[in-house]
Amino acid sequence: MVARRWSGLVAVLVLYAGIVAQRGFSALRSDPDVHNIPYDGRFTFTRLRYTVGAGGYYYRGLPAWAHGYPDAENNLLKIISSVSIFHPHLDGTNVLAIDDPELFRFPVSYMTEAGYWVITDKEAAALRKYLLKGGFLILDDSRDGRFPGNLGWANIEANFRRVLPGARFADLTPQHVVFHSFFDINSFDIVRQYYDAGRPIFRALYRDNDPSKRIMVLVNFNTDVSNYWEFSATGFRPVGEANEAYELGVDYILYALTH
């Protein structure tokens, strides 16, 4: 009996060590160096910075909004440039506060780990204006309470009730046009993460809650698509999985720019 208990404990410790090694857990806090590039009309990947709630510095000591920065977006942009005639900035990306007026220059924005997102009234008003004026927001790397402080879907939904009162999220299927705007994606199982239980879920906020109108907010829930982008050159996961995740990212960007 004792031997079995010890073997079970060892298995748990080995699993935890593997997760720590890949996810980079840290008790330290360290905001990344941000170097935005001047606006010149070309597409620039724009990540949103927000106030991080309790527990949101668990990954390498970084704030939750910075997970994957800047490798994930840099790698995605290289792929977009190589497979299409669309030529985004490859020499840099942006990180902007949600209520920064500069955000209105950039039609596509991106956020990670919104389960830790603490929103202010000013941010809610600014994001509302951005979305209604044509902005498209991608929420990635989100899930329910796997780590302390992560308030998961309840936090995302509550924050967007302040941004767009009356707006309702709708679950998407692989048949939606967003998943066929460049590449054809016929299954969501392509981006299942080993550290998320269950299958990925994709949800959207439509303009006026009308599915015939454009998506304003698209949520990758119970998965972390950008994790594939970030580590695609390391060999940590099969190349085929990274390719599928890149296809999803390309579809998002091109959908946003054509709707």
d(CA 140, CA 131): 17
Q: pLDDT tens across 198-252, in order?
A: 999 999 999 999 999 999 999 999 999 999 999 998 988 788 899 999 999 999 9
Q: How far apart are CA 88 and CA 130, in angstroms?
A: 21
What's the mean pLDDT in 140-162?
A: 95
For residue 58, the model assigns a pLDDT of 93
CA–CA separation, 160 and 168 (whole Å): 9
List domains and CATH numbers for the chain.
28-258 (3.40.50.12140)
pLDDT(166) > 50: yes
**DSSP of 61-89:** T--GGGTTTTHHHHHHHHHHHHHSS----
**pLDDT at 6 (0 to 100):** 29
Q: Tell me the per-residue pLDDT of 39-80, one tens digit each, with 9 for 90 and over.
A: 999 999 999 999 999 999 998 899 999 999 999 999 999 999
With tokens 């796997």, the residue in question is 146
Phi-psi region of 140 (alpha: psi -120 to 50; beta: other; left: phi over 0): beta
- Whole-number mean pLDDT of the chain? 90
* pLDDT reported for residue 160: 98
Q: Model-level pTM? A: 0.89
